[in-house]
Amino acid sequence: MKFYKIIFLFFVISFGQSQEISGIVIDSLNQEPIPFATIISNFNKSTITNEEGRFRIFKETSFNNEDTLFISSLGYSSISFSVTKNVNFEIILAPKGIELKSIVLTNREKLTANEIISRVKKNAINIYDFKYVEKKIFWRETNTAEVIKLDFKIKKTSIKEFDQTFMDSIMTTIPKATNFYIETLALFYGNRDLKKQKVNIIKSAELLNKDNQISIELIEKKIQPIVDLRIKPDSYFKFKSGIFPIDLIVNGVDLRSIDSTDNDQLEINKKKKLDEIKDYNIYNRNFIKNKSNFYFDTEENELTYPVFRKSRLYDFKLVEFTYLGFDPVYVIDYEPASKKEQYRGRLYVHADEFALIRIDYENTEPLRKFNLFGVSFKFDTRHGKQIFKKNHNGKYDLYFYENTNQNTFGLDRLLKIIEKNKNVRGRRKQNQLNMQIDFKGKSRKRTEFIILNESELNIDEFNIYKEIDSILPYKLNEYNPDFWKGYNIIEPSQILKEFKIDEND
């Protein structure tokens, strides 16, 4: 039997006065971090390691001799130990994997992978909680984008300021890569009925360099000085890309600088700000409600994953029988047996309760393609995992969700910029620029979602609770670890920790 060594390095800042512990979990056999290991404490706090194997735990009061952490991860032995006065731990553990043939020696019935899947489907209605609950939820969205190709080629122009030299200069100032992060802490009140769910945002932060975003707004900013100089008071620009003409003013995007005395424009901007706040709250509420209930169909009383709903279209293989902490677990791989299905992955099923406790997935081919009139889009990859654990009622609920989507997109099309006069009847065109745009890029969005704590709620408490729109997230120019001090959030990645907006940008 192979033995693995796991190194737990805990860095305790100002120990004795500090209330926070941070650390990293590493497999010493391959020196790789162990992601998504569960960290549970005896002081009612828990978290999970991030993709880099890092975590942190917060306690409201000072640590004492009775404080203990319990760490578990599939495929490894679990440990528990006191955290007081300990700085570095190096612990050698044996894996908990057990050969399938040893199942015969237990009191459990020997089952095939398909029989296990069947029991999970049948038992789903019994293992999930349908009562009112209060949840504190943290989620993080990480967006990155990269320009693969960007080329503006002037075909013809009577707008002398918009020549090839100018467009080339714009291309050199447009960033080739960009990133954006948003972190949100929210309260969820309700049950599995979407009509009986309420969500309020407690705290939120946004790390975004708006001057460095790959967007039409950035191009507008580069063009702005010339537009202010060139455009006549009674003129406006119209963009035409071959299919849909866009009046920039009509669509609320005005290239002309805003006049601080223009009351109409100020009112438009005020309304836009209020709409932005409203949309931000709606987006957060819909996301949290969806993630709190997406895995179980309350009308059909079944798991929503295709691998369970359409199990006849998948091939299953029982890989091993192991333990997660003290819980016996079946590990089952699944592959699509039909071209209609697009995912493969791994299932972890509690061997006594036949409850799904974890699902890993990845697509086997691009999920969606589009290429028409010079506009292309491809949904390349989607992969992630969901982890379930028992709540205060002894029922299973989603504990952690992680998903990554990656897309590629492109635009190869003739763009016309037409200057028109508002007061001229009939043909209003004054000048025109024809330009070929050849743009290719890719984007990646990673979403993390974790239940920080959960408690019982009665119907009267639910009815009293009111949804109130939060203000927009607090904008940070660099990652600030103190912003979330006192909260057991998912430890950020190193890239996020290093985020900083250059003052010269």
List of residues 6+ apart from 34 with CB closer than 8 A: 6, 25, 26, 27, 49, 53, 73, 76
33-50: b or e for each residue (b if 16 or more CB lie within 10 Å)? bbbbbbbbbebebbbbbb
Q: How far apart are the first and last CA of the chain?
A: 56
Q: How far apart are CA 112 and CA 430, in angstroms?
A: 75
Dihedral of alpha carbons 286, 287, 288, 292, sign: positive
For the chain, state the CA radius of gyration.
28
Q: What pLDDT is stored for residue 240 in this prediction?
A: 59
Q: What pLDDT is stored for residue 223 in this prediction?
A: 60
Please answer whether residues 344 and 319 qualify as being in contact, where contact means their C-beta atoms are separated by less than 8 angstroms: no
3-class DSSP assignment, residue 388: strand
Please answer whether residues 399 and 388 qualify as being in contact, where contact means their C-beta atoms are separated by less than 8 angstroms: yes
Map tokens 């709409």 to a residue: 275
Domain coordinates in residue numbering, the chain: 4-96, 133-497
Kind plus residue range of the DSSP H or E element containing 91:
strand 88-93
User: Left if phi > 0, otherwise alpha if psi is -120 to 50, otherwise beta: which for 85?
Assistant: left
Q: What pLDDT is stored for residue 463 in this prediction?
A: 93
Kind of pairing between the strands at 197-208 and 474-476: parallel
| Residue type at position 252 | G
Question: For 173, how many CA atoms within 13 A lie in the half-sphere containing its CB?
Answer: 14
| Tokens encoding 358 | 């974890």
| Tokens encoding 146 | 């990269």
DSSP 219-265: HHHHHHHHHHHH--TTEEEEEE-SS-EEETTTTT---SPPPTT-HHH
343-362: b or e for each residue (b if 16 or more CB lie within 10 Å)? bbbbbbbbbebbbbbbbbbe
| Tokens encoding 82 | 């006191």
Please answer whether residues 434 and 414 qualify as being in contact, where contact means their C-beta atoms are separated by less than 8 angstroms: yes
Q: How far apart are CA 185 and CA 474, in angstroms?
A: 12
3-class DSSP assignment, residue 317: strand
User: What architecture is domain 4-96?
Assistant: Sandwich (2.60)
Q: What pLDDT is stored for residue 204 in this prediction?
A: 92
DSSP annotation of 193: -
Please answer whether residues 38 and 20 qualify as being in contact, where contact means their C-beta atoms are separated by less than 8 angstroms: no
Please answer whether residues 255 and 220 qualify as being in contact, where contact means their C-beta atoms are separated by less than 8 angstroms: yes
Q: What pLDDT is stored for residue 293 in this prediction?
A: 83
List of residues 6+ apart from 251 with CB closer than 8 A: none
Q: What are phi and psi of 291, to 5 degrees?
A: -70, -20
Residue positions counted in the chain: 505
Q: How far apart are CA 241 and CA 174, in angstroms?
A: 21
Q: How far apart are CA 505 and CA 496, in angstroms?
A: 18
pTM of the model as a whole:
0.78
Please answer whether residues 333 and 117 qualify as being in contact, where contact means their C-beta atoms are separated by less than 8 angstroms: no
Distances (CA, A) of 408 to 143, 366, 370, 379: 14, 11, 10, 7
Please answer whether residues 36 and 360 qualify as being in contact, where contact means their C-beta atoms are separated by less than 8 angstroms: no
Strands, DSSP E only, in 257-365?
296-297, 302-303, 314-324, 327-336, 343-350, 356-363
List of residues 6+ apart from 367 with CB closer than 8 A: 342, 379, 380, 382
Q: Output the tens digit of pLDDT for each of the chain's 505 residues.
A: 333 333 333 333 333 344 777 777 777 566 677 778 787 777 777 788 788 878 877 777 777 777 887 777 776 767 777 776 544 454 544 456 544 444 444 556 789 999 999 999 999 989 988 899 999 999 999 988 888 888 888 888 877 767 788 778 777 777 788 888 999 999 999 998 888 999 999 999 988 765 555 555 555 566 666 555 555 666 666 655 544 333 333 333 344 444 445 566 667 777 777 888 889 999 999 999 888 888 988 888 889 999 999 999 999 999 988 887 778 899 999 999 988 889 999 999 999 999 999 999 999 998 888 888 788 889 999 999 999 988 888 899 999 999 999 999 888 888 777 777 666 565 555 677 788 888 888 999 999 999 988 888 999 999 999 999 998 888 888 888 788 887 778 888 777 777 776 654 4
List of residues 6+ apart from 424 with CB closer than 8 A: none
Strands, DSSP E only, in 391-473?
396-421, 429-456
User: Left if phi > 0, otherwise alpha if psi is -120 to 50, otherwise beta: which for 497?
Assistant: alpha
Map tokens 């299973």 to a residue: 396
Please answer whether residues 269 and 443 qualify as being in contact, where contact means their C-beta atoms are separated by less than 8 angstroms: no
Kind of pairing between the strands at 327-336 and 343-350: antiparallel
Q: How far apart are CA 188 and CA 19, in angstroms?
A: 26
